């Protein structure tokens, strides 16, 4: 849950843009897997004021589109989802939420960039808000790897609210694998110690992530692929185009039960299997030839 406190004293925003910004912020939190209630302050201003703030706070004397000021100094390699203790130190009792940081957004830049890139104002506003949210959660783009990771998260968040145009919609294989590796970090595997992550790409651009969740009663264990699938179907998704599965130490091929579960919805699913720097490109027809699905029942 997010409390997005928007200060727009000059009434740059339309009511629908404010609602979209809240949806984008919620989507960014969901992609990060951050379940804490958080509060974010967002000031909508012009180029002149954002230039002053940029100069005073960052010693850069120029205007820009958006500035982000996280409340937490994240240690190297950590983001909001694995820095809970640091975020808990930012608890605001009046808001009953954890302060994530401040965002300053230049409406002048929104208008100019929307025109330059052929976007709607809503799309540009939503993108900049999403971009800033991931900065508040510890992401950056100072090198190629960090840029790719952050971009994958932005795409996943914006796809979930339908903001990418078709030609921008598709995550690259590398981006989908990155999301699967991130899902793997949440795996609960105390018995096998074999952690698996999955990222399932929907036809509409949404991405659902899952990890394996073991159980002392072994048959009750959930595989990463089925975790992602159940999450997706429970949110109304029915059509899927690609799945990334990640592990370590050996090739994390999906088990027979997962193959059958996936075949129910996506018999032609493309599958990426990644481990220890290796990637195999395969498909569900290859892994489950002559599969049994709805068409087998005449449905």
φ/ψ bin of 265: left (φ > 0), alpha (ψ from -120 to 50), beta (otherwise): alpha
- The yes-or-no answer on residue 166 being catalytic is no
Helix (H) / strand (E) element for 283: namely strand 278-283
Residue 201, CA distances (Å) to 20, 22, 39, 152, 205 in order = 22, 23, 29, 12, 6
Of residues 234, 289, 258, the one with CA closest to residue 243: 258
The catalytic position among 154, 175, 182, 225 is 225
Q: At what angle do helices 144-160 and 15-32 cross, to 10 degrees?
A: 120
Helix (H) / strand (E) element for 72: namely none
| Secondary structure class of 60 (helix, strand, coil) | coil
Of residues 294, 226, 214, the one with CA closest to residue 257: 226
Name, in order, each residue with C-beta under 8 angstroms of 142's C-beta and a sequence gap of 6 or more. none
Task: Report DSSP state, residue 244.
Answer: E
Do residues 163 and 128 lie in contact, with contact meaning Cβ atoms separated by under 8 Å? no
Catalytic residues: 225
């Amino acid at each position: 849950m997010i409390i997005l406190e928007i200060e727009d004293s000059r009434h740059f925003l339309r009511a629908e843009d404010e609602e979209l910004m809240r949806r984008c912020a919620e989507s960014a939190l969901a992609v990060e897997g951050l379940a804490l209630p958080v509060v974010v302050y967002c000031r909508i201003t012009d180029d002149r004021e954002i230039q002053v703030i940029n100069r005073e706070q960052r010693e850069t004397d120029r205007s820009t589109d958006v500035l982000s000021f996280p409340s937490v100094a994240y240690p190297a390699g950590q983001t909001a989802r694995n820095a809970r203790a640091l975020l808990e130190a930012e608890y605001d009792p009046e808001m009953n939420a954890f302060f994530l940081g401040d965002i300053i957004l230049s409406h002048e830049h929104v208008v100019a960039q929307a025109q330059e890139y052929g976007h709607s104002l809503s799309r540009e506003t939503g993108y900049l808000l999403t971009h800033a949210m991931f900065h508040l959660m510890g992401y950056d783009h100072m090198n190629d790897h960090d840029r790719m990771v952050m971009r994958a998260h932005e795409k996943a968040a914006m796809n979930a609210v339908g903001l990418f145009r078709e030609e921008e919609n598709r995550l690259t294989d590398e981006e989908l694998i990155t999301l699967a590796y991130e899902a793997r970090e949440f795996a609960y595997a105390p018995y096998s110690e074999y952690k698996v992550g999955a990222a399932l790409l929907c036809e509409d651009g949404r991405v659902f992530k899952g990890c394996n969740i073991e159980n002392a009663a072994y048959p009750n264990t959930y595989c990463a692929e089925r975790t992602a699938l159940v999450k997706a179907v429970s949110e109304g998704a029915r059509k899927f185009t690609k799945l990334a599965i990640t592990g370590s130490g050996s090739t994390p091929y999906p088990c027979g039960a997962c193959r059958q579960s996936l075949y129910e919805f996506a018999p032609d699913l493309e599958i990426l299997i990644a481990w220890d720097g290796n990637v195999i490109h395969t498909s569900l027809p290859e892994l489950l030839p002559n599969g049994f699905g709805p068409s087998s029942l005449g449905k």
